[in-house]
């Protein structure tokens, strides 16, 4: 299969970006929670 053969199966770039941002925000929240548990405060 060549690159681009199944581009029609992919969501719109904006949807992919929104999903990535949501995942990154969840990961950041988890990391901030870990730092808080360790006693370190971080401002974002």
Give the model confidence (pLDDT) of 17-31 as tens digits: 999 999 999 999 999
% of the chain at pLDDT higher than 90: 52
Q: Using CA atoms, how far apart are residues 33 and 27, in angstroms rounded to an integer?
A: 10
Geometric angle at alpha carbon 41, from 33 and 32, rounded to 5° = 25
Geometric angle at alpha carbon 26, from 35 and 13, rounded to 5° = 140
Task: Tell whether pTM > 0.85.
Answer: no
Q: Report pLDDT for 21.
A: 98
On average, the pLDDT of the chain sits at 86
């Amino acid at each position: 299969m060549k690159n681009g053969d199944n581009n029609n199966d992919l969501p719109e770039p904006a949807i992919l970006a929104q999903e990535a941002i949501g995942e990154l925000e969840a990961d950041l929240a988890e990391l901030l929670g870990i730092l808080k548990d360790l006693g370190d405060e971080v401002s974002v």
